[in-house]
Structure 1
């Protein structure tokens, strides 16, 4: 199964997707880690390069029969189609999960106060988050609102939605 996480920085997407990956013992792909490693190697990272690397790693792990958790902002229709294509090309089921924080004040606070967990990675500012292109969704998907919820509460809500999809 491919679990495709999407959402703006500061919504809790990485925390939640990492928690699910640990629970499922799934391969965890975080585009921020890939892109920062590319920068550290001296590769100019602009455009879809980090995503393309993640698509290929995901495909290889899915071919091995492993679940894959993809943690990316996934802001535009093209990247969303590409993630679905990874699973569809292999005949593997997938689920799209958008993580949001509906309380703008809380979201802004999270963006302003969080610390990076990736050495050398520069986190976006609130203005960068708010001004980022983020296309409206064209299809049904899971939407998980993390505002005013703990990680445990958000993970439980996600598991409930995933269980409803399976049944």
Structure 2
């Protein structure tokens, strides 16, 4: 669905867990195949107690969807990123601050696109 929307020239924001390089590479490949620009932002929560509380209190936004448990979350394999990206720690800033930093990062990336390809 993302690729189809990118082909139509639409902006796509993918909110997803990408804990391993293969899943991140798939999004990069999608952008490449559709000649779309890609901006990568990683959200983390450095405070385990807060992260757990968020995981355990999150309501499903799709009827019948089984959300991961805290044990599921901490058991997932995670591999560090191998590319430039912005990391935002949701434990250390207000929503407004995080949004401002994300918007500034996207604006900077867009300005750099004037200098050449991806």
TM-score under structure 1 normalisation? 0.61
Matched residue, 1:71: 15
- How far apart are 1:115 and its partner, in Å? 1.5
Matched residue, 1:30: none
Matched residue, 1:120: 64
Residues 1:140 and 2:84 aligned together: yes
Matched residue, 2:25: 81
- How far apart are 1:61 and its partner, in Å? 0.7
Long gaps (5+) in structure 1: 1-56
Matched residue, 2:50: 106
Residues 1:162 and 2:102 aligned together: no
Whole-angstrom distance in 2 between the partners of 1:111 and 1:82 = 26
Matched residue, 2:95: 151
Question: Aligned pair in 2 of structure 1 residues 120, 150: CA closer, same or farther (>3 Å)?
Answer: farther
Matched residue, 1:49: none
TM-score under structure 2 normalisation? 0.84
Bigger Rg, which one: 2
- How far apart are 1:137 and its partner, in Å? 0.9
Whole-angstrom distance in 1 between the partners of 2:54 and 2:93 = 13
- Count of residue correspondences: 111
Secondary structure of 2:104 counterpart: helix
* Structure (1 or 2) with the greater strand fraction: 1
Q: Which of residues 36, 39, 49 in structure 2 aligns to 1:95?
A: 39
